[in-house]
Amino acid sequence: MSLSSKAKRCGELVRKQGVGSLINLPLTKFYTLKRLPSYVRSYPITAQIETTNVCNLKCRMCAHSVASWKSRNPRKILTMKEFKVILDKLPHIQFALINGVGEPLMNPNIADMIRYAYSKGIKTAFFTNAALLTPEKAEELLKADGLININVSIDGGKPETYERIRVGAKFSDLCDNIRSFIEIRDEMGKKSPGLSVFMVAMHENVHEIPLLIEIVKDLGGNGLNLHRFLEDQQTEGSPLSLEDIEMLKRYKQEADSKNFILSFGDMSGRITNKRSKRTCVDPWKTTYVNSTGWINPCCYSFYDESAYFGNIFESDFGDIWNGEPYRKFRHELKTGMPACCVKCPKYS
């Protein structure tokens, strides 16, 4: 970001959030993230807000498809009123990822939520399976200022593989929706939101990465981001084998030679066979709010009720942010490893 763009953004934040946000940002960067105290004087600068836990697909590798998860989590679509309450209680966030376990396009108010967030100076993005990203929905989203990126999940280079993993989706519809979105965006003369492609890398699909790279290129993209498959006794799918990892390394070399970005993201430690040291600072700078209002430290802990620190609809966020459960969690993360972090791809 250029100096003039930074100045413009600072002015926007002052107008929409007040000078408090400009004080909160350096306090976070130069005090909180340096000292990592259990009691945090600054407030989150980003947040992930689950706008619904309802999904239109039954993906084999997703916890959402597991019966035990559904039995503990009744269907919930966040209302516009509830969304406003959440943002009003998070006065200093500058960016929000507005999805969680469910498909955000299942929420009929998603475009209005994007607009409301931006009226408060908050830029947004979300992950989607894009099955519902019809031309009509694309136009609606493109008219909502503040949306800076849409991250599309494509878990196969062949229709049969993709449709076997993402049960209920059609590969041809997915590609059509992405092309339509790009065409409408270009016709409107807009550069934003950007569109990124993500893939959950598993033994079942890793060999199709070269095919998917060509599809991404055909769609006008220049990068593919890989997510690690999170193993669970009740989800389907197989983790990468040693042979798969060696294959990935070759794909990376080939992509680099062609100036294509193949990003390993949260899989980097798995690929290099190095267990990461504690580098996570999420509990000091961001927060996760699920569709029923419960606060978690991050998206990877959504399944663990021991990491539910309070409900934003029932309490002041400041009381949750520096309440005993959050403070205890920060201390455990700084000195050891909380139970819900053991399987986190940043460490395992």
Mean pLDDT (the chain) is 91
pTM: 0.94
pLDDT value of position 347: 66
DSSP helix/strand/coil, 1: coil
The count of other CB atoms within 10 Å of the CB of residue 326 is 22
CA pair distance 78, 302, nearest whole angstrom: 16
Cβ within 8 Å of residue 21, ≥6 positions away: 13, 14, 91, 92, 94, 121
CA pair distance 225, 186, nearest whole angstrom: 23
Note the pLDDT tens digit of each residue in 302-320. Answer: 878 889 999 999 999 999 9
CA pair distance 50, 159, nearest whole angstrom: 29
User: Radius of gyration (Cα) for the chain, nearest Å?
Assistant: 20
Note the pLDDT tens digit of each residue in 224-240. Answer: 999 988 776 567 888 89
pLDDT value of position 33: 95
Task: Please spell the DSSP secondary structure of 212-278, one letter per residue.
Answer: HHHHHHHTT--EEEEEE----TTS---PPPHHHHHHHHHHHHHHHHTT-EEE-GGGHHHHHT-PPPS
- Give the residue among 92, 140, 134 at the shortest CA–CA distance from 115: 140
- Give the residue among 81, 71, 79, 77 at the shortest CA–CA distance from 54: 77
CB 202 within 8 A of CB 162: no
Cβ within 8 Å of residue 133, ≥6 positions away: 105, 150, 152, 177, 178, 180, 181
Note the pLDDT tens digit of each residue in 242-287. Answer: 999 999 999 999 999 999 999 988 776 666 655 556 678 999 999 9
pLDDT value of position 68: 57
CB 95 within 8 A of CB 123: yes
DSSP helix/strand/coil, 171: helix
pLDDT value of position 3: 82
Using the structure block, give the residue that is written with the tokens 């190095």.
274
- Please compute the mean of the pLDDT values over residues 47-62 and round it to a whole number: 94
pLDDT at 219 exceeding the cut of 70: yes
* Per-residue DSSP letter, 50: -
Token digits of residue 248: 């990935």
CB 225 within 8 A of CB 199: yes
CA pair distance 17, 118, nearest whole angstrom: 11
